Chain A
Amino acid sequence: MVEARQLPRRANPRLWLAGGWLLAVLMAAIFAPLVAPHDPLAQDLMLERLPPFWVTGAEPGYWLGTDSLGRDLLSRLIYGGRIAFAVAFAAAIAACLTGSALGLVAGYFGGWADRIVSRIVDIWMAFPPVLFAILLVAVLGTGLSSVIIAIAVIDWTRFCRVVRAEAMSQARMDYVENARIAGFSRIDVMLREVLPNVLPTIVALLSLEMGIAVIVEAILSFVNLSISTDDPTWGGMIAEGRLSIHQAWWVLVFPLIMLILTVLSFSQFGEGLKSRFDPVLR
């Protein structure tokens, strides 16, 4: 690590571009009441299906147009970011903590702990994830916390598998043995020696998982199972857009662009962070 720090840091445009986009969307979502030009729920049937500003027939002030109920798309996108980011952070962190803890224990201690955890992972991997998510939300009842719980319950295995493998290979290394000889307890070694070495991988996965959580939330909204239908969500907007696709393409296009850019940014941000942390990859 000491050598790695001495290497000159090259600016990583991917990291900055992705991070910039995510920060911009996050800020817009947090300050939505100040940023959004309109009330995202206000319906006006006189203004239904207005096209975006560059198309003839657009109404000034409705930059990205309106949906079939006359609601302002830009404002709905900004407010939709609130739910997307809330789900992204909460679900990804919950999945990360559960999965990493179990993976660390399974990989470092091995034996029966590893057998039990691996069995559960096998069972989880045999579920189609989207169907599992839909089923869980249907069971838990729609709502923000159900969506977060469902994603965490399904996706902890992503962290578990990777961290387990990483912890296993770390556990075999000399420094772990040395720490044990130096008199540290197994849990001490796991937390002080193994965990820091697994951390770059976890951070990259966490960013990736946030992107996945945004998609899963959108899928749940799309099948009408996410939060109450009143709150604007990107997935809900996509579902509306899919229905009016031949009359008003923009209702589908803008939330889709939003989702694509956000998911790409999360994965690029994760990759960028990983290569920044990881001396081998740099």
Chain B
Amino acid sequence: MILQRTLTRLLTMIATLFGVAVVVFVVIRIAPGDPIAMMLPPGASQADIDRLRALYGLDKSLIEQFVIWLSGVVHGDFGTSISLRQNVLGLVLGRLPATLELSIFALLIALAIGLPLAVLGARERGTAVEAGIDVANGVALSIPDFLWGLVLILLFGVLMPVFEISGRVSPQLDLPFTTNFYLFESIVRLRFDLTANLLGHMFMPALALALPLAAIIAQLLKQSLKELLTLDYMVLARVKGFSETQVILREGLKNAALPTLTLVGVQFTFLIGGTVIVERLFSYEGLGNMAIDAVVNRDLPLIQGIVLVFALLFVVINLAVDMAYALLNPRLRHG
């Protein structure tokens, strides 16, 4: 059953990616404004423009262009960036680690805030503490990451300048890294001075991304825990002499984890989508920041490549969550 489910999901995933490719391809080609004309100095001859147009394959029909691009993508060739004149795949893979590290760090922060608040709220249910948590959740949830980013810039970048609010790492540092997973590599190489510097830069953008998700986790998990706490076996555990916190931690979390997992998976893709503007806000050199530059420069191949990579990331995360759910849920496992 799990195998069949996986196959169906894989096919849907490919269909979705194909759809994304079609949509982005059509959208950016109805754009007015000639990317080629923007590349050449003013006064370039028509012959020069035509030559360059042919070089990027822009002289062919829309369908021909799509087929050529798609067959390239299938073979791992995403074309050449018009504004940066480099291989798109190389550019995207160069920036992806920065965005992944930021997103995962943000997810960890969201869990670190959301889980304890959920447990506390469930333990103190019906009290002013729970009401306070609810209010905080409501506010954190209603304010999107873009605004949280600005608030954090003001509070911890200007008012109390404790964290960096611009860039990924201090530019004067000498980086010994061979991959672009700076944070991961700094830990592996035991260069904790660099780890600290990287985290100092990442903390503000990651927190901005994490706050709305933390609120969602706290709210949903608290709700599940509260419902579980009325069940017989929870009552039994309490009768056995476990304290309220012990009951929640030992029995509650185990059973409330599954619905939370599904939700966190979906919300994590939203969080990654949020990196686009948050990276811009904090001048963090990730994929999203590059995407905005690509749009501003009308760099068609680069935009296509980045959007497709984001879409791939989203469907893969959804697939992974679905698989994890199927594996962890006893009803589906034996079904």
* Residues in chain A within 8 A of chain B (CB atoms): 119-120, 122-123, 125-132, 134-136, 138-139, 141, 211-212, 215, 218-219, 222-223, 225, 238, 242, 245-246, 249, 252-253, 256, 259-260, 263-264, 267-268
Given known pairs A122-B12, A139-B31, A242-B150, the reply for A130 and B273 (CB within 8 Å) is yes
Judge if B180 is at the interface, Cβ distance under 8 Å: no
Closest chain A CB from B200 CB (angstroms): 18
Judge if B256 is at the interface, Cβ distance under 8 Å: no
| Residues of B with C-beta under 8 A to A127 | 20, 23-24, 273, 307, 310-311
Q: Which residue of A lies closest to B20 (CB)?
A: A126
B32 touching A215, Cβ below 8 Å: no
Given known pairs A119-B19, A256-B147, A264-B139, the reply for A219 and B277 (CB within 8 Å) is yes
A135 touching B27, Cβ below 8 Å: yes
Judge if B280 is at the interface, Cβ distance under 8 Å: yes
A242 touching B288, Cβ below 8 Å: no
| Residues of B with C-beta under 8 A to A123 | 16, 19-20, 23
Count B-side interface residues using an 8 Å CB cutoff: 49
| Residues of A with C-beta under 8 A to B230 | none
Find A264's partner among B12, B142, B292 (CB 8 Å cutoff).
B142
Given known pairs A128-B272, A245-B154, A256-B154, the reply for A268 and B20 (CB within 8 Å) is no
A-B contact pairs, 30 of them (CB 8 A): A120-B19, A125-B314, A127-B311, A128-B288, A129-B273, A130-B274, A131-B273, A131-B291, A131-B295, A131-B306, A131-B310, A135-B295, A136-B27, A138-B295, A138-B296, A139-B27, A141-B32, A215-B144, A219-B146, A222-B277, A222-B280, A245-B158, A246-B158, A249-B158, A252-B153, A263-B143, A263-B144, A263-B147, A267-B141, A268-B138
Inter-chain CA distance A259–B148, complex, in Å, is 11
Find A242's partner among B15, B273, B281 (CB 8 Å cutoff).
B281
| Residues of A with C-beta under 8 A to B292 | 131, 134, 223
Task: Mark each residue of chain B from 88 to 127: 1 if its CB lies under 8 Å from any CB of chain A, else 0.
Answer: 0000000000000000000000000000000000000000
| Residues of B with C-beta under 8 A to A252 | 150, 153-154
Judge if B237 is at the interface, Cβ distance under 8 Å: no
Please indicate which of the listed interface residues B12, B31, B138, B142 has the most CB atoms of chain A within 10 Å of its own CB. B142
Docked complex: B135-188 residues within 8 A CB-CB of A: 138-139, 141-144, 146-147, 150-151, 153-154, 157-159
- How many A-B pairs with Cβ below 8 Å? 126
Closest chain B CB from A214 CB (angstroms): 10
A138 touching B298, Cβ below 8 Å: yes
* Residues in chain B within 8 A of chain A (CB atoms): 12, 15-17, 19-20, 23-24, 27-28, 30-32, 138-139, 141-144, 146-147, 150-151, 153-154, 157-159, 269, 272-274, 276-277, 280-281, 288, 291-292, 295-296, 298, 303, 306-307, 310-311, 314-315
| Residues of B with C-beta under 8 A to A223 | 277, 280, 292, 296
B273 touching A128, Cβ below 8 Å: yes
Given known pairs A223-B292, A253-B154, A264-B139, the reply for A135 and B28 (CB within 8 Å) is yes
Contacts A135-B28, A222-B281 known; 7 new A-B pairs at CB < 8 A: A120-B19, A126-B19, A136-B27, A138-B31, A139-B28, A139-B31, A215-B144
| Residues of B with C-beta under 8 A to A139 | 27-28, 30-32
Closest chain B CB from A234 CB (angstroms): 11
